[in-house]
Amino acid sequence: MTGARQPDGRWLALPALLVLGLFFTAFGTFIALSLLHAVPGTASIAGPASLDNYRAVAGLALNREVTLDTLWLALQLTGICILVGYPLAYLMARTPSRTVRNLILFVLVVTFLSGGVTRAYSWLIILGNTGLVNSLIKKLGFAMVPLVHNRTGVVISLTHFLLPFFVLTLFGALKTVPAMLEEAARNLGASRLRSFLAVTLPLSVPGLIAASTLTYAVALSSFLFPALLGGGRNPMAANLIYMKILDAFDIPAAAAMATLFLVIALGCVGLFALVERLAQPRFPLARRHG
Amino acid sequence: MRALDTKPYSGSVVAVGGLALAFLVVPVLFIVYYAFNASRYFALPPVPLTVHWFANFFDNERFQAALHASFEIAGLVTPLSLAVAVPSAIAIVRGSFRGRALLNTALLSPLMVPGVVTGIAFLGLFSQLNVASGFWRVTAALSCFTLPFAVRALVANLHGLDPALEEAARNLGASRWRAFLHVTLPQLRPGLLAGGIFVFVEAIDNFSISVFLTDVDTTTLPVEAYNYIRDFDDPTVAAMATLLIGLTVTLVFLVQRVTGLDKFLDLK
């Protein structure tokens, strides 16, 4: 339509490429550092390059246990988010009332934006030994239940942190599943549960996997919540890496740990993405008859 | 026009959904209450209310320094991130060069990397480059890290725009730059606002990257709060949290007024 030389707009990508360059340079430096070693007693880092750090990191049983435990815990948290978050996303997508939808959106967005330290701290006080929950338990005449500095506190607070990610992503997908299809199934005599199981659920599988992938990826990199609510006794992978920096100030060893963890984490997230791709063609949205 | 008089979901969906909503909102409300709690510790029955902890927050020199640093950093990171995001989003949506899809994926990649890994990576880079200022280390790292938020918001915004408008301006003789400035940019206002708020809040709130890059001269609010929680047991951090929640609620209301929250979420 337009004149002779239409630029394709590649120069517009230049600033982004500079930022990405900085980002990937940081990672390049980082992987290079992981091959060197810290000179004991000083802040300097020296060669020769070797895989010693990786051998040391992988050789430590604690590192292997915590890594496996992190992968498993992230999976459990994703499961909890599906159970608790799916009904909420569904309610939000299907409610006929704009006010209800906006209220849910408002709560999700405010929670989402209200800050990690804020929320971790709030849970610390709510679940603490003299906190809201235990005060109520004591008033009812029961014995105190330890809810912080253990796995329970980490799971509760992390579920709270992850839920908005999950619900907001799933909501986007559920909205695109036409409510008409469900109504048609209902009109044909299917029960509510059956029309959900046979129509809505299969159609929402790609969105469900996308939301779970995001939730799993965010859960894997948890750092603040296990640090504050786990009381140092329930470290996740990121906490171990942090301790390596803080306690030993061994940047090369921490870099090796972080690189290994990054590879494992991306591998697991990649598995989710693979499942997503496999699930896609089986439930094409275009197939409207049924 | 609804086909059946019954609702499309059953009572149990409403019950679980309602409980989930309560679960989300309780900690936010609780921390606001706790900030006004006169006792140093939480107590039942409720104790009288006070603004003592807010005064404590504003009297604390370290919190004041962190407050200033956090807002200065976020005030730099937000325009920087948006300035890079606008041309990037236009290149992704309107460009016709090869590798646009790859650029889009690459721009989202910082989100996939655990914050701790990003933090250590930047720590390593800056220590090699001898960047010793905590302020600039955090600003540079967060500008890179928040870029995906801004790009996503603007890409979603641009997808909804009609390129014919800009073409019309060009056909009427406007330069490319003028057409962009007077036709496209005003239409990008919702994306700039939504993206800007996301970036700003993330820059104020980020902990896992900043904790590695701050130094004795510059700490940010979350890092200072984290240190405070470890050393003291009183509601001063709750007062800080309440102020930040107030800021967030105001910003979300602003989005609601300007673009509507549903639009805001279509960006996801």
User: Does A158 fall in a domain?
Assistant: yes
- Please report which confidence band the pLDDT of residue A77 belongs to, taking 50, 70 and 90 as the band edges: very high
Query: Which residue(s) pair with B49 in the sheet?
Result: B37
Cβ–Cβ contact A97 with B under 8 A: no
Amino acid (1-letter code) at residue A89: A
Interchain contact, A15 vs B103, CB within 8 Å? no
- Could you tell me which residue, B74 or A189, shows the higher pLDDT? B74
Whether A126 and A229 have beta carbons less than 8 Å apart is answered as no
Q: Which of A262-276, B40-54, B188-202 has the lowest mean pLDDT?
A: B40-54
> What pLDDT does residue A6 have?
54
In total, how many domains does chain B have?
Answer: 1
Distance of CA A169 to the CA centre of its chain: 12
Closest to B124 (Cβ–Cβ): which among A224, A255, A265? A255
Output the domain CATH number for residue B223.
1.10.3720.10
- Does the structure show a pLDDT above 60 at A282? no
Count of other CB atoms within 10 angstroms of residue B229: 18
Quick: pLDDT tens for A82-99: 999 999 999 998 888 888
User: Does A31 fall in a domain?
Assistant: no
User: Does B240 fall in a domain?
Assistant: no
User: Does B238 fall in a domain?
Assistant: no
Q: What is the DSSP letter of A44?
A: -
Q: Which of A28-42, A89-103, A125-139, A143-157 has the lowest mean pLDDT?
A: A28-42
- Phi-psi map region of A115: left, alpha, beta (phi>0 left; psi -120 to 50 alpha): left
The alpha carbon dihedral of A16, A17, A20, A25 has a sign of negative
User: Does A155 fall in a domain?
Assistant: yes
Quick: pLDDT tens for A110-139: 888 888 898 999 999 999 888 889 888 888
Q: What is the DSSP letter of B5?
A: S
Domain extent, residue B191, equals: 62-230+258-266
Output the domain CATH number for residue A55.
1.10.3720.10
Contacts of B99 (CB under 8 A, 6+ apart): none
Return residues 57-116 of B near A (CB < 8 Å).
83-85, 87-88, 90-92, 94-97, 103, 106-107, 109-110, 112-116
User: Does B8 fall in a domain?
Assistant: no
- Could you tell me which residue, A186 or B61, shows the higher pLDDT? B61
Residue B84: exposure state from Cβ atoms within 10 A (0-12, 13-18, ≥19): buried
Closest CA to B225 of B200, B209, B206: B206
Contacts of residue A258 in chain B, CB cutoff 8 Å?
A: 114, 116-117, 120-121
Per-residue CA distances from B223 to A25, A115, B206 (Å): 26, 12, 9
- Could you tell me which residue, B23 or B104, shows the higher pLDDT? B23
Quick: pLDDT tens for B205-215: 899 899 999 98
- Does the structure show a pLDDT above 70 at A233? yes
Query: Which residue(s) pair with A37 in the sheet?
Result: A46
In total, how many domains does chain A have?
Answer: 1
Domain extent, residue A63, equals: 50-96+148-282
Structure tokens of B172? 């009427």
Helix B61-94 and helix B221-231, axial crossing angle in degrees, nearest 10: 140
Interchain contact, A94 vs B9, CB within 8 Å? yes
Quick: pLDDT tens for A252-266: 888 898 888 888 888
User: Does B78 fall in a domain?
Assistant: yes
Per-residue CA distances from A44 to A33, A39, B123 (Å): 11, 6, 14
User: Does A25 fall in a domain?
Assistant: no
User: Does A240 fall in a domain?
Assistant: yes
Q: Which of A112-116, A214-218, B2-6, B216-220 has the lowest mean pLDDT?
A: B2-6
DSSP string, B136-204: HHHHHHHHHHHHHHHHHHHHHHHHTS-HHHHHHHHHTT--HHHHIIIIIHHHTHHHHHHHHHHHHHHHH
Whether A156 and A76 have beta carbons less than 8 Å apart is answered as no
| ipTM for the predicted complex | 0.83
User: Does B245 fall in a domain?
Assistant: no
Q: How far apart are CA A32 and CA B124, in angstroms?
A: 10
**What is the model's pTM?**
0.85
User: Does A17 fall in a domain?
Assistant: no
Count of other CB atoms within 10 angstroms of residue A226: 26
User: Does B108 fall in a domain?
Assistant: yes
Quick: pLDDT tens for B66-105: 999 999 999 999 999 999 999 999 988 888 888 888 888 8
User: Does A273 fall in a domain?
Assistant: yes
User: Does A156 fall in a domain?
Assistant: yes
Interchain contact, B4 vs A26, CB within 8 Å? no
